[in-house]
């Protein structure tokens, strides 16, 4: 029985073999079993599937489109008016975006 145990490779030698195998076959070497997210990175990207689920965004005309198509009607977007008002209020309180550097 002791002769069989003497012929078995040591734990360090087995670890070296596993590391070499991982390098050869392009696998991730993680001897401590630390969570590293490699399974998430290995998974195929889901972006195109998610984008196609919601369909074409240009299928429905927006308020901005109507404003471009019919400028003589003088459409006013209440959301844009509110946004501009809030930006002005923030600038009054010095909460707006910083001024750009002039060169």
9 or 81, which is more confident? 81
Separation CA 36–CA 41 (nearest Å) = 10
SS (H, E, C) 19-82: HHHHHHHCCCCCCCCCCCCHHHHHCCCCHHHHHHHCCCHHHCCCHHHHHHHCHHHCCCCHHHHH
**Percent share of the chain, pLDDT over 70:** 95
Which tens digit of pLDDT belongs to each residue from 40-72? 888 888 888 887 887 777 778 888 899 999 999
Residues 54-64: b if buried by 16+ CB within 10 A, e if exposed: eeeeeeeeeee
CA-nearest of 28, 57, 94 to 65 is 57
pLDDT in tens, 70-87: 999 999 999 999 999 999
The pLDDT value given to residue 2? 62
- Own/partner contacts of 2-11, CB < 8 Å, gap of 24 or more, are none
pTM above 0.75, yes or no: no
Domain-wise residue ranges, the chain: 63-93
């Amino acid at each position: 029985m002791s002769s069989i145990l003497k012929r078995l490779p040591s734990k360090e030698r087995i670890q070296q073999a596993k590391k070499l195998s991982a390098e050869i076959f392009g696998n991730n070497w993680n001897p401590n079993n630390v969570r590293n997210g490699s399974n998430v990175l290995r998974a195929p990207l889901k972006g195109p599937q998610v984008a196609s689920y919601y369909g074409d965004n240009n299928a429905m005309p927006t308020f901005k489109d109507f404003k471009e198509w019919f400028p003589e009607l003088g459409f006013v977007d209440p959301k844009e008016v509110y946004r501009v008002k809030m930006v002005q209020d923030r600038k009054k309180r010095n909460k707006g975006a910083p001024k750009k550097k002039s060169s």
